[in-house]
Amino acid sequence: MPSYTVTIATGNQWFAGTDDYIYITLVGTEGCSERTLLDKPLYNDFERGAVDSYEVRVGENLGDIVLVKIEKKKYWVQDDWYCRYITVKTPSGDYLEFPCFCWLVNDKEVVLRDGRAHLPQDDKTSLVKQHRQKELDGRRKTYRWREWQPGFPMSIDANRHKDLPRDIQFDSEKGVDFVLNYSKAIENLFVNQFMHMFQSSWSDFSDFEKIFVRIKNTISEYVMQHWKEDFMFGYQFLNGCNPVLIRKCKKLPDKFPVTHEMVAVSLERELTLEEEIEAGNIYIADYEVLDGITPNSTDPCTLQYLAAPICLLYKNAQNKIMPIAIQLGQVPGEDNPIFLPTDGQYDWLLAKIWVRSSDFHHHQTITHLLRTHLMTEVFGIAMFRQLPAVHPAFKLLIPHIRFTIAINTKAREQLICECGIFDKANATGGGGHVQMVQRAVKTLTFRSLCFPDLIKSRGVDSKEELPTYFYRDDGYKVWEATKRFVSDVVNIYYTSDERVQGDEEIQAFVKDVCSFGMQDLDYCEFPKSVKTREELIEYLTVIIFTASAQHAAVNFGQLYLGMYPDEHFTEKPVKDAMAKFRKELAEITSSIKKRNEGKKLPYYNMSPDKIPNSVAV
């Protein structure tokens, strides 16, 4: 009687094990096994982190094993189980791997295909075609689109984290990490004390230093010493937490009537302001998106204010970016003067503080929330709805979507909701942050998510002109390494452009992002199809880069780029591509570390060893 050896790995996360009954059925080209209970006498099966093996005996050889069906049935009370993978050793000694990486909840069954990726046009038998379609039908019922706010990118149809599908919720360990990290942040930053401090007038600029009492490292101490200085103010436009707004000024806007006489004392090359502009030495940061945004008025005892400043920046002879003029509103006039470095010390300092305040709101609401968190969620929902687990693009993207929908749901539940943390702590709370996203979506195009295009569109792509723009330099390296990795994987499965065009699932994925995720807005300019391998490579690179490197540059993370602990791919060529990718990332990390040696302000935000795989925090 033929016998198959089945090995099952249970997850390592908290509460991954189960005491419920687990059944298996092997489906082959020549027949199916009996539904078999996996249970060893006097043994605690399926404990957390366990790898258990069982014999499945059959009356006759099943042929090629096509599917494995796993069922969980209640023993005493429902006990969720996380299955990592299943391997099957055939009577002839061959090994087959069946990745699972999902939770079985209630009396659930999961049907798995082996770990080799397949395009839909390569599936020929009705059995695998039906399995593929059934998986997508179920996913589309589970992962539904919903508009959280008018004018926002679409999000998951769930009000609370606990309403999400179990597979995309934080696992218990991650949930505890979230609570501990939040508590630690509260402790370190004395948030409650800050809230009180911010809701009353500061008596002295030394109050600012209290922020750094519990944050002790070389960089923070250097910043504390130099935060008032112009060079530090300018440096943050290049390598701070919002390095995406500065652009080359080719012509002064009429709304910002700076004259040569105003700034002549700040210019160092014996050129007029107009000549400095023509020479490419003048840059600008415009916070027009904040103009007219309603300030937070949720607490009638606390007046809050917003500015929509314009800041003119000058690259001096030492290649440092220096502020030379600031206007705090968009309409010039007597009540909206232009502030200059030659003004009184505190007038100029307060003008810079207003710019930095506006930069904070732009960073948190647009650069961070909209352009990384919400956009990655759009890609993630479309992925679950349109790409089955066997699709190579699903296997490629799933590590970069990990926990994104969960953290965004938590944010809508606790952070950006009515009476959430934004309402309590931000001047854009009470609805201003919603208005900002609605405005910013109108300029969010697909090309603006392509890192090289975004850099070039702002006129800051020249290393010779801006030699200390490390966000750009490191971003280029990571973008190109990511694109080469994606290219290696894509070319394994798509041997021609016609293969891309014939893949109905990848086309449905791209269309779902545009037509539903971005609501087919005329101005978003997202593609509705991809026709070539190069277009597909760029599209997938945008998703991975947005979820990993771009998010890291404006935030921080945990599971780093190039790390794929869940082996969704089993083919050797893909594993080789991953190894090559990790090697390239290690070389980039080494070069960044070498460049940063001896710098008082080292830049590590785009170092691959600091880049999380996904938007998970």
DSSP-derived 3-state class of residue 295: coil
pTM of the model: 0.91
Q: What is the pLDDT of residue 599?
A: 87
Rounded-to-integer distance, Cα 307 and Cα 327, Å: 10
Residue range 22-30: average pLDDT? 95
pLDDT in tens, 454-492: 999 999 999 999 999 999 999 999 999 999 999 999 999
Give the 3-state secondary structure percentages of the chain, helix then strand then coil, rounded to 5: 45, 15, 40
Domains of the chain: 3-114 (2.60.60.20), 174-195+202-215 (no CATH), 245-358 (3.10.450.60), 368-610 (1.20.245.10)
Annotated binding site: 17, 39, 79-80, 368, 373, 551
Q: What is the pLDDT of residue 187?
A: 46
pLDDT in tens, 305-333: 999 999 999 999 999 999 999 999 999 99
Annotated binding site for Ca(2+): 17, 39, 79-80
Lowest mean pLDDT among 95-109, 415-429, 561-575: 561-575
Q: What is the pLDDT of residue 180?
A: 45
- For the chain, give the percent of residues with pLDDT over 90: 71
Tokens for 523?
Answer: 């101005």
Question: Residue 1 — pLDDT band, cuts 50, 70, 90?
Answer: confident
Considering the chain, what is the average pLDDT of its residues?
90
Angle CA(189)–CA(193)–CA(196) in degrees, nearest 5?
A: 135
Q: What is the pLDDT of residue 189?
A: 46
Q: What is the pLDDT of residue 464?
A: 95
Tokens for 400?
Answer: 């970069």
Q: What is the pLDDT of residue 562?
A: 58
- For the chain, give the percent of residues with pLDDT over 70: 91
Angle CA(72)–CA(395)–CA(70) in degrees, nearest 5?
A: 15
Which residue reads 């929908």 in tokens?
Answer: 405
The answer on pLDDT for 190 being more than 50 is no
Rounded-to-integer distance, Cα 159 and Cα 331, Å: 41
Q: How far apart are the first and last CA of the chain?
A: 53
The answer on pLDDT for 182 being more than 60 is no
Annotated binding site for Fe cation: 368, 373, 551
The answer on pLDDT for 554 being more than 90 is no
Residue type, 420: G
Q: What is the pLDDT of residue 564?
A: 67
Question: Residue 217 — pLDDT band, cuts 50, 70, 90?
Answer: low
Rounded-to-integer distance, Cα 103 and Cα 10, Å: 10
- Contact criterion met (CB below 8 Å) for 438 and 150: yes
Distances (CA, A) of 356 to 310, 363, 475, 526: 11, 10, 23, 32
The answer on pLDDT for 215 being more than 50 is yes
Q: What is the pLDDT of residue 176?
A: 47
pLDDT in tens, 521-538: 777 789 999 999 999 999
pLDDT in tens, 338-396: 999 999 999 999 999 999 999 999 999 999 999 999 999 999 999 999 999 999 999 99
Q: What is the pLDDT of residue 479?
A: 96
The answer on pLDDT for 179 being more than 80 is no
The answer on pLDDT for 559 being more than 50 is no
Who wins on pLDDT, 216 or 609? Answer: 609
Lowest mean pLDDT among 301-315, 351-365, 491-505, 563-577: 563-577
